[in-house]
Amino acid sequence: GITSGVNKLSDMSWLAVIGFIFSLMFGEVLLPPVIGRALSAKSKKDSSRAFSFTGLLVPTVLGLFLLMGIFANSGLVATGTANDKVLIKLASSQLGAGMLGLFVAALLSIVMSSMDSMLQSGAVSVTSDVFGFKHENKKSLVTSRIATIILGILGGVLALLIPDLISTLLIIYSLWVPVIMIPLLYAVFSDSINKWAGPAAMILGGISSYLWEYIFSNPLGLPGIIFGTIVSWATMEIIK
């Protein structure tokens, strides 16, 4: 599967490598804060343009991280270092005290920026989708604040309990991408869609990805994320 060869890319089939890249690339592009910004654009044209530019930036960012991984693997970081500690180890071994402090400050700002966006998206989802508040008022504001606190605590607990963050992130992406990517693209770029096409594609895409990856163990070596995305696309085409 996608997560089984995270430590040794050379042990992965070419299909698994494609699935690995597919997971990281579209998993990051389709994060809830990104989707929220795309859907709240002034017009469909602005949303399409912004989404396209975001897609162009992601390969650049991932390429930089790939280069850092190559440098780390060349001997700059001790063999056996945990996946989620490679970047810190690489920085601490190559940067001086001043630059290392600047790097840590920048890294913390990135983490805080991502976390507050996630917490905000989660709180909005709880307030609007779970409790059904359509307009902002005192009660919805209190609900949103409570949801933010609870989600933050849950996130902290899960971070302490999960030993390998990268593998867990890839598992989430393998389920998240087939659910959201195809319906979102159709919503942004298509003029008219059957109202049942999106929900059907999301349900079948997610279920098929899970079954293919974790129940049937990737027949033909095809990663579940790719199979689920294909099923989601086929469902949209049939029902739309």
Residues 6 or more apart whose Cβ sits within 8 Å of residue 184: 30, 35, 38
Residue 121 binned pLDDT confidence (cut-offs 50, 70, 90): confident
Residue 106 phi, psi (nearest 5): -65, -40
Does 9 or 165 have the greater pLDDT score?
Answer: 165
What confidence category does residue 233 fall into, taking pLDDT thresholds of 50, 70 and 90? very high
pLDDT category, 135, cuts 50, 70, 90?
Answer: confident
Residue 229 token pair: 């995305």
Q: Which of 63-77, 87-101, 187-201, 212-226 has the lowest mean pLDDT?
A: 63-77
Asked whether the predicted pLDDT for residue 224 surpasses 50, the reply is yes
Q: Look-up: residue for tokens 């867990």?
A: 168
Mean pLDDT of the 68-73 span: 75
Report the candidate in 177, 171, 207 with the shortest Cα–Cα distance to residue 27: 177
d(CA 198, CA 174): 18
Task: State the burial class of residue 16 (Cβ atoms within 10 Å of its Cβ: 0-12, 13-18, 19+).
Answer: buried
CB 174 within 8 A of CB 213: yes
Confidence of residue 230 (pLDDT cuts 50, 70, 90): very high
Mean pLDDT, all residues of the chain: 79
d(CA 182, CA 186): 6
What does the pLDDT average to over 29-34?
69
pLDDT at 127 exceeding the cut of 80: yes
Would the pLDDT of 166 be above 60? yes
